[in-house]
Chain A
């Protein structure tokens, strides 16, 4: 039995990480509406803090637009400044 390679019972699943992309560039969204609280909730964590770019995968231009939109949303009491278990 040639000892070519070691056969595992289950194939070695190397976890391929899905390439992050900027959803605004891909979907062609040009304007982020600050009135839309539900959509902006995707970009804040459950304490209400803004998620960093490396987690949201946004490009720099749209991350800034998301940041200003969330801050306007907080100003108009659609999103809270600080909370726990928001989601």
Chain B
């Protein structure tokens, strides 16, 4: 049960409930194949750095899940069939990545590597 991260760009012409339906059946696919979803994050409409399929904006959706390694092959086939998905990427997460995402979800202040002054990692009030 290794952990993966999926990032999907939907076509911007999608209406809100179509977008929700799209993300819902992504999640359903994973839970059907006895994977479990750790967390998800919708960035919504963002402008792309370069046009994809003649469109300059896209609906971003990020999801982290744990599943068998065999699931991803079926997952990519299913996503290739789906026209509303312009582009997707599945990345494997190692333990540092999982810790990073976990920290980010819990909102602990992540010190950016600032070369100049020493970053004092004070606790944010949410975390305290």
Using CB atoms and an 8 Å cutoff, list the residues of chain A in contact with chain B: 21, 23-24, 26-27, 29-31, 33-35, 39, 72, 74-81, 83
Contacts and interface: CB of A to CB of B under 8 A. Distances in A.
Interface in B44-68: 48-50, 52, 58, 62
A33 B100 contact: yes
A39 B112 contact: yes
A33 B9 CA distance: 18
B80 to A, nearest CB: 16
Contacts of A81: 49-50
Interface stretch (B12-20, B25-33, B89-97): B89-97
Contacts of B97: 31, 33
Given A72-B91, A75-B89, A76-B89, A31 B99 contact: yes
A21 B94 CA distance: 25
A34 B62 CA distance: 12
A16 to B, nearest CB: 17
B4 to A, nearest CB: 13
Contact of A77 (B62, B87, B115): B87
B48 A77 contact: yes
A31 B96 contact: yes
A13 to B, nearest CB: 21
B83 interface: no
B113 A29 contact: yes
B7 interface: yes
Contact of B7 (A29, A76, A80): A76
Nearest to B93: A31
A29 B96 CA distance: 9
A81 B49 CA distance: 8
Contacts of B7: 35, 76
